[in-house]
Amino acid sequence: MSATIIDGRAMARRIQAAVAAEAAELARAGWAPRLVSLSVGATAAAELYVRNQRRQAAAAGIGFEARDYPATISAEELGGVIAGLNADPRVHGIVIQRPLPAAIPVRALQRAIHPLKDVEGLHPASIGNIVYDDLALGPCTARAAVEILRALPLDPAGLEVTVIGHSELVGKPVAFLLMGLGATVTVCHALSREVAAHARRADAVFVAVGRPGLVTAEMLKPGAALIDIGINRVETPEGPRLVGDADFETCAEVAGWITPVPGGVGPVTVAMLMQNAVRATRMQMERYRGAYAGGQ
């Protein structure tokens, strides 16, 4: 058997077309959506993400400004930057690229972002809303991965799903979204025993660990869906290459559907961020229309 390879770029383009139309409509109303990205120190892990945000924002007609701060910036100074962006009516979304230097408390900063400008859906209020299945601004990566599953001819209700990795950014939100769809969810992490056995039982496996080759063909039920969220840069004799957390070649022999890296969850994540940007702008327009002169 050979898996169907899921085309994340095509899915991202479809989402983006709707986002572009909405961004144009908001711009006509005087509320052109605009995002600001904050990177601190050397952020190799986020460079590709920022590059694709810039590219997709340009394509969707969303303003995008990437700011880089030195690793020596203090948490207080960054808090001041965020307070300024919260108060600026021309800014509708703020993205804090992870990871941050160890000395900077990422949760406190995430909490400092105004919830209506929390386009990544990572504010404690947004994270809490996941439990209520209220996804006004849902977390982008998790939504992307789950939207990909929803596009497959599998009924998520009662589906056996194993999630490998339980980070705040990815694994935990994925598990909650899947529970919201009625799936039976098993979550594995660094302390889990028998990850392979849990994976092999599943109709769909989601993996977000950051370890190339973690999921192998022996860990999959034949015909299962494999949603590979990992994005890792590895050195090969032919130069640097981007790979996921699964051993793609062997897994594709056994899985029914598989997401490639690049071209799988990554582009859909960025499209979700753009979708959140227009949603956030609309919510701010509805809340503050009249409070500002225009909004711009």
Ligand X SMILES: NC(=O)C1=CN([C@@H]2O[C@H](COP(=O)(O)OP(=O)(O)OC[C@H]3O[C@@H](n4cnc5c(N)ncnc54)[C@H](OP(=O)(O)O)[C@@H]3O)[C@@H](O)[C@H]2O)C=CC1
Binding residues: 165-167, 231
Q: Measured at the alpha carbon of residue 34, what is the angle toward residues 11 and 107, in degrees to the nearest 5? A: 85
Taking CB under 6 A as the binding criterion, the range among 35-43, 64-72, 117-125, 183-191 that sits at the site for ligand X is 183-191
Smallest gap, in angstroms, from Cβ of residue 175 to ligand GUE?
17
Q: Are 167 and 208 in contact (CB under 8 A)?
A: yes
Chosen residue from 56, 110, 269, 276 binding ligand X by CB under 6 A: 269
The answer to whether 266 contacts ligand GUE (rule: CB under 6 A) is yes
Closest separation in Å from C-beta 213 to ligand X = 11
DSSP annotation of 230:
-
Three-class SS state of 235:
strand
Known binding residues for NADP(+): 165-167, 231
- Based on the shown chain and the rule CB under 6 A, indicate whether residue 261 belongs to the binding site for ligand GUE: yes
Contacts with 230 (C-beta within 8 Å, 6 or more apart), sequence order: 207, 208, 209, 210, 211, 212, 214, 243, 244, 245, 246, 261
160-164 and 204-207: which strand pairing?
A: parallel
Q: Please pick, from the candidates 6, 202, 208, 254, the single residue that binds ligand X as defined by CB under 6 A.
A: 208
Residue 199 Cβ vs ligand X, minimum distance, rounded to whole Å: 10
For ligand GUE, what does the binding mask look like between residues 50 and 79, x meaning CB under 6 A? --x---------------------------
Q: Could you say whether residue 212 binds ligand X (CB under 6 A)?
A: no
Cα–Cα distance measured from residue 212 to residue 58, given in angstroms and rounded to the nearest whole number: 31
E strands present in 237-286: 239-243, 257-258
Amino acid at 95: V
Draw the binding track, 72-111, toward ligand X (x: CB under 6 A; -: no contact). Answer: ----------------------------------------
Our CA angle for 5, 9, 11, nearest 5°, is 85
- Residue 210, interface with ligand X (CB under 6 A)? yes
In the complex, which residues of this chain contact ligand GUE (CB under 6 A)?
Answer: 45-46, 48-49, 52, 96-98, 120, 140-141, 169, 231, 242, 261-263, 266-267, 269-270
